[in-house]
Amino acid sequence: MMGFVHFCFAIAGFSAIWLLVSYLKKQVIETEDGSPSLLFHSQEDQQLMHSYKGAFSETEYIYGMAIEEVKDLETLHILSVGLGFAYSELSAVCHLWEHKDYQITSYESEKDLVEALLAYLNQQPSIYQDQYEKIFSIYSEHFKIPLEKIRQRLKDLLASGRWKILGAFSFQTSPNPYNAILFDPFCARFHQQAWQMSQLLPWLENNAARICIFSTYAAKGELKRGLKNLGFRYEKRPGFAYKRESTFAIKGR
Ligand SMILES: C[S@@+](CC[C@H](N)C(=O)[O-])C[C@H]1O[C@@H](n2cnc3c(N)ncnc32)[C@H](O)[C@@H]1O
């Protein structure tokens, strides 16, 4: 009997430590424009999901402007690589508020982030309740759309299948013609595979629709040359905050 009690205590202790460790893996940070982000810790490194100068401001600068470039298309398919706190998705939905026919495909490898967002949308307890409350309020104020309408729009998109949230992204996903590729994985130090040009460029060739914008916070010579070879017009654009350059490339117009 005592052996069993010890065993239960050991399991409980182990679970508590595991919960603590997984909790410490991600730390909420308030960025300088007041919008929240997450700092991911790995054993030897750490990576913030957004610029510490502003998660909302950076998203609007890098991805909001990309959506503006193609929002006149009658039908529109947006890809978001790295759901994170869903800034890119909120940006898309708000920029496309009057648009009648668009779909979004999001990829996120961290299940807890997806679960937290779905819980918030369904008004259930969410581990990032306060952060979502803040993020949705920022979008609501900026775009002058009531928060509840934004929440409902996201729920409707999910229910109708026009917004799909999938797991880990890889270049082996079945091809889709995307009109806007919001490429927001972690940097190469943290997510090396996402930035391998030998994979990214062939993938782009198969997944960029005739009219397509590709936008990301980073800039690399090889990416720039590759995009040009694929028929994209590369617009030289300063990066957000202290970054020298970002990538904003459009094809078909
Ligand atoms: C820079 S953050 C994205 C921020 C996000 N766009 C937002 O609006 O908050 C990168 C995200 O990619 C996710 N991620 C990492 N590897 C991934 C993979 N293979 N597939 C999909 N998502 C991945 C991380 O968990 C993280 O949430």
- Residues 180, 66: Cα–Cα separation, whole Å: 7
Specify the pLDDT at position 18. Answer: 39
Distance 42 CA to ligand 1 centre (A): 14
Specify the pLDDT at position 19. Answer: 41
The reply to whether ligand 1 has any atom less than 6 angstroms from the CB of 173 is no
- Average of per-residue pLDDT values in the chain: 91
User: What's the pLDDT band for 42 if we cut at 50, 70, 90?
Assistant: confident
Flag whether pLDDT at 198 surpasses 90. Answer: yes
Q: What is the mean pLDDT of residues 48-74?
A: 98
- Write out the two tokens for 126: 């969410």
The reply to whether ligand 1 has any atom less than 6 angstroms from the CB of 112 is no
The reply to whether ligand 1 has any atom less than 6 angstroms from the CB of 169 is yes
Distance 76 CA to ligand 1 centre (A): 22
- Write out the two tokens for 198: 């030998």
Distance 51 CA to ligand 1 centre (A): 14
* List of domains in the chain: 2-46 (no CATH), 54-251 (3.40.50.150)
The reply to whether ligand 1 has any atom less than 6 angstroms from the CB of 37 is no
Full-model pTM:
0.91
The secondary structure of the chain, three-state, reads CHHHHHHHHHHHHHHHHHHHHHHHCEEEEECCCCCEEEEEECCCCEEECCCCCCHHHHHHHHHHHHHHHHCCCCCEEEEEECCCCCHHHHHHHHHCCCCCCEEEEEECCCHHHHHHHHHHHCCCCCCCHHHHHHHHHHHHHHHCCCHHHHHHHHHHHHHCCCEEEECCCCCCCCCCCEEEEEECCCCCCCCHHHHCHHHHHHHHHHHEEEEEEEEECCCCHHHHHHHHHCCCEEEEECCCCCCCCEEEEEECC
- Write out the two tokens for 248: 């904003």
Distance 184 CA to ligand 1 centre (A): 6
Specify the pLDDT at position 6. Answer: 52
The reply to whether ligand 1 has any atom less than 6 angstroms from the CB of 90 is no
Specify the pLDDT at position 242. Answer: 86
Distance 114 CA to ligand 1 centre (A): 11
User: What's the pLDDT band for 135 if we cut at 50, 70, 90?
Assistant: very high
The reply to whether ligand 1 has any atom less than 6 angstroms from the CB of 120 is no
The reply to whether ligand 1 has any atom less than 6 angstroms from the CB of 185 is yes
Distance 26 CA to ligand 1 centre (A): 13
Q: What number does the ligand 1 atom closest to the CA of 89 have?
A: 8
Specify the pLDDT at position 3. Answer: 54
Specify the pLDDT at position 236. Answer: 87
User: What's the pLDDT band for 11 if we cut at 50, 70, 90?
Assistant: very low
Give the tens place of pLDDT for each residue, 205-216: 999 999 999 999
Give the tens place of pLDDT for each residue, 148-185: 999 999 999 999 999 999 999 999 988 999 999 999 99
Distance 147 CA to ligand 1 centre (A): 24
Q: What number does the ligand 1 atom closest to the CA of 59 have?
A: 8
Contact status, residue 212 vs residue 192, Cβ threshold 8 Å: no
Give the tens place of pLDDT for each residue, 77-129: 999 999 999 999 999 999 999 999 999 999 999 999 999 999 999 999 999 99
**Ligand 1, pocket-test mutation among 26, 45, 110, most atoms within 8 A of CB:** 110
Specify the pLDDT at position 17. Answer: 38
Specify the pLDDT at position 196. Answer: 97
User: What's the pLDDT band for 251 if we cut at 50, 70, 90?
Assistant: very high
